[in-house]
Structure 1
Amino acid sequence: MKRGLIVTGGRRPSKELLESEIRWADGIICADGGYDTLAHVPEKLKLVIGDFDSSHRLAELKEKQVPIEVLPPMKDETDTEMAMTRMLEYGPDEIHILGGTGSRWDHSVATIFSMEAYLDEKAKITMIDENNRLRMVGPGTYAIEKLGFHYVSFVPVTDAITISTDGFKYEVDHLKLYRKKTRGVSNELLKDGGTVTLHEGKMLIIHSKDE
């Protein structure tokens, strides 16, 4: 599997975004209530995992013979983190997470920061919703495309980071950004693409647009 899609129980994507991601993926794992997002059961669905406290579909899943893994309600990881662990067992090059944001800030923030645990994995993990794409990265040079978004922000995860950019409205060379400051938010690409080099630290690369 090269491209894995995880659908969680957060904010539901639009029909267009969901169908686009299903076409993109080679395999799909749903975290608990994320199964309710699917209008049908794609052949690419590998597993539905969770404690099923937010989904009443357990009987339906068994009837449809969908592969399931039932987790205990009292556990150390969220359903989404367990879905990421299971997806990584397939050895994908990329993982997209749909539904990782929603009304529960605790789940949203926890999912974002749990991505740090997988920076050393081969897979590139990206959270996606209608208005945002978010990826956590370590030191390196990264190609940045517009992808239909207006803004690109670089947000430190560590106390401080040092970045250089090429192809952006606000160009910087070895600029130090601090986690407790907001500088680095709302840069813009001048053309269709550019690059950012992270010299030290860890950061979020966030594509965003207004509704």
Structure 2
Amino acid sequence: MKFLILANGEYGELDWYRKQQGFDRVICADAGASMALQIGIEPQLVIGDLDSIGKKELEQLKTAGCRFLVYPVEKDYTDTHLALMLAEKEGATEVTVWGGTGSRLDHTLGSIFSAAVLAEQGIAVRFASPAQMIYLVCDELRLPGCPGETVSVMALVGRARGVTLEGFYYPLSGVTLETRSTLGVSNVITTPDPLIRVEQGILTVFHYPTVKKRSEAGGQSGGW
């Protein structure tokens, strides 16, 4: 089952989200429900402490038949983490997160690390937005991308072994990446829909469709 989670991070151009379809279940993490209403989506369930949703929006969601799982404000998990755990519990095979990243780096990292548990269970996880796509890969990913677009790959926890990149300006074959390494930062797609493979561990793939680079410019870890 394909699950969509709407969190309370940054979204950007909302028309991009309105064009995305094909989800079986929609879960909102607290104020992600407000974004769902703005986009024009009616979620099946809202989870969290509900401290960021207005009364008018709550009534609109209740009228639409939305279920609520309410947690206290003082809890051990973020609302997004709770939504991810619920998706796993309810049989998700794919999870897409909107609004899972933003200016709060602690929340961004918390969401990515908590999603790693799902990836380890074989659930395909991605954080999607118009400007950035983040994939958690435990085996193989055929990345939907075009030549010239920027991609970075990093080990999420500890080491990612047997990392292979095909269709990139800087290819890799069976390489071990460590969390503390920037070897995989700022690569460039040279072939449509390139292949990314990892034999052991979790690889975090950052894809920036709007960031174009000439393949011959700079080194692999150029940039910041």
Calculate the TM-score normalised by the size of structure 1: 0.87
* Aligned residue type for 1:62: K
Query: What pairs with 1:137-152 in structure 2 (closer than 5 Å)?
Result: 137-138=137-138, 140-146=139-145, 150-152=149-151
- Is 1:85–2:90 an aligned residue pair? no
The Cα of 1:17 is off from its aligned counterpart by: 2.0
- Is 1:72–2:72 an aligned residue pair? yes
Q: 1:61 to 1:173 in 2, by over 3 A?
A: closer
The Cα of 1:55 is off from its aligned counterpart by: 1.6
2:221: which partner in 1?
none
Q: 1:196 to 1:40 in 2, by over 3 A?
A: closer
Query: What pairs with 1:89-108 in structure 2 (closer than 5 Å)?
Result: 89-108=89-108
Q: 1:34 to 1:149 in 2, by over 3 A?
A: farther
1:6: which partner in 2?
5
Query: What pairs with 1:1-211 in structure 2 (closer than 5 Å)?
Result: 2-21=1-20, 23-37=21-35, 38-39=37-38, 42=41, 45-56=43-54, 57-138=57-138, 140-146=139-145, 150-162=149-161, 163-208=163-208, 209-210=210-211
Distance between the aligned counterparts of 2:72 and 2:184, measured in 1? Answer: 41
* Aligned residue type for 1:35: A
Distance between the aligned counterparts of 1:159 and 1:89, measured in 2? Answer: 26
Whether the 8 Å CA contact 2:18–2:40 is kept in 1: the answer is no
Distance between the aligned counterparts of 2:196 and 2:65, measured in 1? Answer: 46
Comparing 172-181 and 91-100, the one that deviates more: 172-181
Query: CA offsets, 1:90-141, max 9 Å, x none?
Result: 3232111000012222111100111111123342111112211112222x23
User: Quick one: percent identity of the two aligned structures?
Assistant: 27
Structure 1 residue runs without a partner (length 5+): none
Whether the 8 Å CA contact 1:52–1:58 is kept in 2: the answer is no
* Aligned residue type for 1:17: W
Query: CA offsets, 1:51-88, max 9 Å, x none?
Result: 01122243443354421111111111111111112222
Calculate the TM-score normalised by the size of structure 2: 0.82
Alpha-carbon RMSD across the aligned residues, in angstroms, is 2.3
Distance between the aligned counterparts of 2:64 and 2:140, measured in 1? Answer: 45
Q: 1:171 to 1:147 in 2, by over 3 A?
A: closer
The Cα of 1:199 is off from its aligned counterpart by: 2.9
Distance between the aligned counterparts of 1:153 and 1:210, measured in 2? Answer: 12
Q: Give the paired residue count.
A: 207
Distance between the aligned counterparts of 2:104 and 2:32, measured in 1? Answer: 14
